[in-house]
Chains A and B, each alone.
Chain A
Amino acid sequence: MASHLTREWAGIQQFPAATLAKLLELMGKLKQENVSSLTILVMGKGGVGKSSTVNSIIGERVVAVSAFQSEGPRPVMVSRSRAGFTLNIIDTPGLVEGGYVNDQALEIIKRFLLNKTIDVLLYVDRLDAYRVDNLDRQVIKAITDSFGKGIWRRGLVVLTHAQLSPPDGLNYDDFFSRRSEALLKVVRLGARIKKQEFQMVDRVSLLERHHEALECNMDDFSSIMLGLRESLKLFAYTKKQAATMPMLEIAVSINDSAIPVVLVENSGRCNKNDGDEKILPNGTAWIPNLMEIITDVVSNGSKAIVVDQKLIEGPNPNDRGKFLIPFILAFQYFFVVKRIQRAIKDDISKESKPLWELRDMGLANRDF
Chain B
Amino acid sequence: MAFYAPGQLLSPNLSPSLSSRTRKSTNATPSASSSAIKCDLSSTPNPQSFKSLSKTLAFSTATGFLFHLSSIPSLISPTCNGTGAGNGDFSGGGDGGGGGWNGGHGDEGFWSRLFSPAAIAKEEESPSQEWDSHGLPANIVVQLSKLSGFKKYKVSDIQFFDRRRWTTVGTEDSFFEMVSLRSGGIYTKAHLQKELESLATCGMFEKVDLEGKTKPDGTLGITISFTESTWQSADTFRCINVGLLPQSKQIEMDADMTDKEKFEYFKSQEKDYRRRIERARPCLLPLPVHREVLGMLREQGKVSARMLQRIRDRVQKWYHDEGYACAQVVNFGNLNTKEVVCEVVEGDITQLVIQFQDKLGNVCEGNTQLAVVRRELPKQLRQGHVFNIEAGKQALRNINSLALFFNIEVNPRPDEKNEGGIIVEIKLKELEQKTAEVSTEWSIVPGRQGRPTLASIQPSGTVSFEHRNLKGLNRSILGSVTTSNFLNPQDDLAFKLEYVHPHLDGVYDPRNCTFRASCFNSRKLSPVFIGGPGVDEVPPIWVDRAGFKANITESFTRQSKFTYGVVMEEITTRDESSHISPNGQRQLPSGGISTDGPPTTLSGTGVDRLAFAQANITRDNTKFVNGAVVGERDVFQLDQGLGIGSKFPFFNRHQLTLTRFIQLKEVEEGAGKPPPPVLVFHGHYGGCVGDLPSYDAFTLGGPYSVRGYNMGELGACRNILELAGELRIPVKNTHVYAFVEHGNDLGSSKDVKGNPTEFYRRMGHGSSYGVGVKLGLVRAEYAVDHNAGTGAVFFRFGERF
Contact = CB atoms under 8 A, between A and B. Distances in A.
Interface of A: 97-99, 103-104, 107, 316-322, 324-325, 328-329, 332, 336-337, 340-341, 343-345, 347-348, 351, 354-357, 359-360, 364, 366-368
Contacts of B290: 366
Interface stretch (B16-24, B444-452, B689-697): B689-697
Contact of B286 (A98, A316, A366): A366
A347 B652 CA distance: 29
A367 B285 CA distance: 9
Contact of A343 (B282, B634, B651, B753): B634
Given A317-B718, A351-B621, A356-B390, 10 more contacts: A103-B759, A322-B690, A337-B638, A340-B634, A344-B560, A344-B619, A357-B378, A357-B391, A359-B284, A364-B284
A67 to B, nearest CB: 21
Contacts of B752: 317
A360 B751 CA distance: 59
Contacts of B378: 357
Most B-side CB within 10 Å, residue of A103, A332, A366? A366
A340 B559 CA distance: 13
Nearest to B384: A360
Contacts of A97: 588
A337 B617 contact: yes
Contacts of A351: 557, 621
Contacts of A103: 596, 759
B358 to A, nearest CB: 34
Contact of A367 (B287, B323, B640): B287
B556 interface: yes
B629 interface: no
Contact of B619 (A325, A332, A347, A367): A347
A343 B759 CA distance: 42
A360 B388 contact: yes
30 contacts: A103-B759, A104-B594, A107-B596, A316-B753, A317-B692, A317-B750, A317-B751, A318-B651, A320-B751, A322-B690, A324-B689, A325-B640, A325-B689, A329-B640, A329-B652, A332-B638, A337-B615, A337-B638, A340-B619, A341-B617, A343-B619, A347-B557, A351-B621, A356-B380, A356-B388, A356-B391, A360-B386, A366-B285, A367-B286, A368-B288
B650 interface: yes
Nearest to B589: A98
Contacts, number: 109
A247 to B, nearest CB: 38
Given A107-B596, A341-B562, A98 B588 contact: yes
Contacts of B391: 356-357, 360
Contacts of A354: 390
Contacts of A344: 556-557, 560, 619
A107 B562 CA distance: 46
Interface residues of B, number: 50
Given A325-B690, A340-B619, A364 B652 contact: no
B322 interface: yes
Contacts of A360: 380, 385-386, 388, 391
Contacts of A325: 640, 650-652, 689-690
B175 interface: no
B656 interface: yes
Can you list the 6 inter-chain pairs with the closest CB atoms, starting with the nearest? Answer: A317-B751, A98-B589, A104-B596, A347-B621, A356-B388, A318-B691
B129 interface: no
A281 B753 CA distance: 48
A318 B648 CA distance: 12
A66 B638 CA distance: 58
Nearest to A347: B621
Interface string B307-335: 00000000000000011100000000000
Contacts of B617: 337, 340-341
Contacts of B560: 344, 347
Contacts of A345: 556
A360 B636 CA distance: 36
A336 B286 contact: no
A168 B323 CA distance: 95
B79 interface: no
A329 B692 CA distance: 16
B654 interface: yes
Contacts of A332: 636, 638, 652, 654
A316 B755 CA distance: 12
Contacts of B619: 340, 343-344, 347
Nearest to B290: A366
A347 B759 CA distance: 46
Contacts of B651: 318, 325
B167 interface: no
Given A336-B636, A337-B615, A356 B689 contact: no
B362 interface: no
Contacts of B439: none
Nearest to B389: A356
A367 to B, nearest CB: 6
B590 interface: yes
A318 B690 contact: yes
B596 A318 contact: no
A316 B691 CA distance: 9
B656 A336 contact: yes
A264 B388 CA distance: 97
A364 B391 CA distance: 17
B323 A356 contact: yes
A364 B390 CA distance: 17
A321 B282 CA distance: 67
Contact of B689 (A322, A337, A359): A322
B422 to A, nearest CB: 14
A97 B718 CA distance: 29
A98 B636 contact: no
Interface string B252-264: 0000000000000
A70 to B, nearest CB: 13
Contacts of B691: 318, 322
A145 to B, nearest CB: 9
B605 to A, nearest CB: 16
B650 A322 contact: yes
A103 B585 CA distance: 12
A348 B617 CA distance: 15
Contacts of B689: 320-322, 324-325, 328
B650 A355 contact: no
B352 to A, nearest CB: 15
Contacts of B718: 317
A311 to B, nearest CB: 16
Most A-side CB within 10 Å, residue of B322, B617, B640, B650? B617
Contacts of A367: 286-287
Most A-side CB within 10 Å, residue of B390, B556, B652? B652
Nearest to B590: A98
Given A104-B594, A325-B690, A356-B390, A348 B284 contact: no
A350 to B, nearest CB: 8
A362 to B, nearest CB: 10
A318 B656 CA distance: 21
A103 B285 CA distance: 81
Interface in B699-753: 718, 750-753
Nearest to B588: A98
A320 B753 CA distance: 12
A329 B385 CA distance: 47
A344 B555 CA distance: 11
A44 B363 CA distance: 89
Contacts of A366: 282, 284-287, 290
Contacts of B590: 98
A347 B623 CA distance: 12
B553 to A, nearest CB: 14
A97 B650 CA distance: 37
Interface string B614-632: 0101010100000000000
Nearest to B654: A332
Contact of B692 (A104, A107, A318): A318
